[in-house]
Structure 1
Amino acid sequence: MAHHLLMEVYGRCDFAERKNLNGHEWKDMQTDNRKSYDRLSRNIALTVITVSIAPLILVGGLIFDQFRSIYRAKVYAHLAEVVDKHKHNVNTFLSEKLSEVQYLNKAFTYEQLTESDFLEQTLKGMQQQYGRIFVDLGVIDKRGRQVAYAGPFDLLGADYSMADWYLNSRDKVTGISDVFMGLRQSPHFIIAINKDEQGRKWTLRATIDFLAFSNLVENIRIGETGYAYILNKNGVFQTKPPVTRNKDLVLTPFETIQNSSSAEGVTIQLSDGSDGEIYITVSSHIKNGDWKLVYQQNSSDAFSAMIRSESFTLVIFLLGGLGIVGMALILSRKLVTRFKVIDQENEMMNRQMVETGKLASIGELAAGIAHEINNPVAIMIEEAGWVNDLMEDEGREMSCYQEITRALEQVRTQGGRCKDITHKLLSFARQTDSRVAEVSLPALIEEVVEISMQQAKYAQVVLSLDMDRNMPLVRGSVSELQQVFLNLINNAIQAMETKGGKLTITCRAEDGQAYVSVADTGPGIPAANLSRIFDPFFTTKPVGKGSGLGLSICFGLIHQMDGEIEVESGVGQGAKFIIRLPFPPTGNDQELEKGD
């Protein structure tokens, strides 16, 4: 898609160059180009967003689902384990108390237990040993009347013949009643041991402290809404009823969780509450199935850590998604902007190629003109010499002899200068000699300066030369070196042509190399352009006034000679181009190289 749109843009730009468009057509074409770039930017952004976010959503969703499943299973297993552990605690508590009462029934006779003092001492001993879990003790005859009692209440002679706990336990060896109010009007339950001794049937009963028993269950507290309680077969609370925000809460089970934990006989159900919330109910039978231990908790409370993690993860995903979208938009805009710049550079390059062709044509024309001028200048010099010879032979008696002789000498001198200039121009334009030779840089630079002298005078540029004429020769192409220095000098003069300035050219030997610097006092080069100053076709001049190839050619020619060229500049600080060229090896160096 991007390639298609770019080809479309290139085609339109090329079409615009091949046709003469009026203002409205050009404006329409520019609008279409902008739309093409905008469409390209959108397509790139959508592609990046889709490719980046789609895997993120798929992987994130998979991890999210796996995390939720694992966490739910972990919570269910934990709750099942808690309920199973407390189930064993409650069964153990009841079994221990039953065993302790059975011990009394086996260890003592009916006569001993029916003595008030003995029964009182026995109760105190049990309370000292086991705590005040045992509230009282009593002996009941076969008619259901309590014939002996030890405890805080006045229950001696109480008739239990019609009490539910008595009726339910009289046909069993042992029995544990449900929690009930009874004659004392406080919740309690009774452990009864029946015994038939020498034809006499009697029952030993013990009352268990309700608070001690209830605390076993009430201690199961998880989260803010988790609580536990015990129900009998009829659904009556055997511990304190839970205090909930909604006292009329009704639960309707809708799903039973298949428990995979090690806790056997534990049932986990999800229920819809009448308050609109979902509740987790974990239950298990205790006391041989007569009671049920139930744990209940709001699911949002049970999974609060998971919900927080999910919320935090969702926020991270959203921020990551927004980051991807933002980066996709930024990168697409930067990329399309770069495409625009490339298009503009290509368009400018095409124009500069045309300008370069024009410059090449102008160079050939200059070479032809220099050649044509060279012939009449040579004739002028010869004729001036011939006239001077005539004046020597026959014109000495003329009163204006000296003036004519001076004028002829000036003609010869200036003609020779014109011939020298045209010869140099012809050599430079045609690059007639690219052979490597030993060159004196100071002399070569002075020749190039003579060519640019008139241009510097018009631009009000003062030339300053600092030449070390005793420095060693360098090896290089005369025409290529001329081209490098002429380009640098002309660029410096053009940079100062609006306000004038000073051009300083230094040439000396430094650190075993030839050092040449061309420094001007012009406006300088911005830091942003320094890194691109030697790039082909890069120019800050208006179209038609520069091809952007001069410094690039200089860079290539200097590096072909194993030299270096660099620039130092800043806005308002002028520009300084530095060239370093190696000296050819001496005889000793050559012998060392051969020895190596």
Structure 2
Amino acid sequence: MSIIKKIKPRFWDHYDASGASMQPFSFRRKWKLIVILTSVVALIPLLVMTLIDFQLTKRAIESEIHVNMIRTVSNTWQAISSSLTQRKAALDFIARDNSYENLNQAERLSGILKSLQEGLGGFEDIGVVDARGHVQAYTGPYDLKGANVYSDKCFQSVIKKGFYIKDMHGEAETAPHLVMATKHVLQDGSFFVLRSGLDNNLMNNMISRLDIGRADDAFIVSNEGVLQTPSRSHGGIYDKISLPIPEPVSGTKTMEAMAQDGTPVLVGYAHIPDTSLILMMVKPKSEIMAMWYKPRMKLVGLLVLSIAVILLAVLGSATYLVQRIHDADQKRVAALHQVEYSNKLASLGRLASGVAHEINNPLAIINQKTGLIKDLFTMHQRYASDEKLMGLVKGVLSSVERAGSITGQLLNFARHLDTDIERFDLGEMVGDLMGLLEKEAEFRRIEISLKMPGEKIVLESDRGNIQQICLNLINNAFAAMEQGGQLDIKVAVNTPQQITIVIADNGHGIPPADLKRVFEPFFSTRAGHKGTGLGLSITYGLVKEIGGDIAVESKLGEGTRFIVTLPMKVSPDRQQNT
């Protein structure tokens, strides 16, 4: 119960009798309403944005996987296509560079094969076939010389197209390999075909170097679905895959399909030019979802954390707000009394101003008449030599001066909240102030250093306030240098709209613990009853009243430095408020 009491707000069990419809005003009900409405307003956009971000992130990951797959397939497709194109160009060059008779020579053909194997690699054999399909010359590991391939699909295709690459075939007498053939027309109109078998490892090596996941698969398949390279999950060479064979298209594409075991997969593919071969890359959709799992968990975790932070912020803000309202309600009567008290002070100020003006008028007359009487007395030796009579006249004049000083203080009190805006020369005002303090500084053995800018500084502000600010700070510096010292006053123009007045002394300084409290009312660092603690507080209020700022820097034993920043012109808003 003690813990509940400690955390329970003060307004929880408080009801105000001023509720609407003659019902008690419940702060608890207001708190609940604020919490519910704020939570709904804050959480609904968060949930909507999270759902949108959820979908966008998922699409972005899927898109990235698609792009990576297309890039991998496209790069491999380009490498294979480039390799086949190089070997096709080599066969074309050999057919043009050598006569038909030279190619039929076994030694010449053997040298050509050796050069191809050393230069490009990947060639297993090479042979020359005449127009009737007879293999006239052959160099390689198989016994093909004298064979007739006229009815072979590769031979018929090369006659029609001029060039043909046959997918791998597995005759008993040959190992699996591709067959590349090119047609060359002779000058008499006849032709011959230069054919060569390509090593199967040529494409296997390119695919095996692919950086793919453990569950991914990459292979080359014919347009009939027969594997041309080994596959991780679809069998070996000559096995038929269960995946659908895409129609011939240009470029690299992707499609979604179902594997033989019913697993959804993403397939990237590209048709190899001038062949019936298709490069395919397969990635299970489960791998895609696995890549999406970690961002999804982060997103859910962020959502839970965000909801928790929002709810804590809503509960804390609602509690703080309602507590402030409750405290303000509790202080309502006290505030009304304070307003009444302030009105009384304002009335007192107006009364003081009126009394001072009313007293000043007869004082002026008394001062003039007494002065006239003194002048008349001094004109007659009889009265001028009467010390008692002249002493009475001087007493009257002294009392009038004292009464004038009191009424002046009353007027200053009445005008404390009034601001008189005028244009004046700051240098002239500071000069007048220095003339006023010169004698006191000599008496206290204090040297004053004044630094003013070369140009004239004209302010549009309250001259009396600024003069009072400077005077208060200088008097404060004088009090800190009881044994004499150095007072530096520097005026600088920061910007066309702002000036700075720095007043620094080398007095005893202010302790760090007291430095933050120097502008508090009734706080004084002077020993005994030498100060009321209001001087710097009043100075702070005067600075803020005309839109300025004041700061203090001090070190014990080294002195204190006050920096006053003032605007060149009081803002219209402050003029209207004065």
TM-score tier, shorter chain, comes to 0.3 to 0.5
TM norm structure 1: 0.46
TM norm structure 2: 0.48
Higher-Rg structure is 1
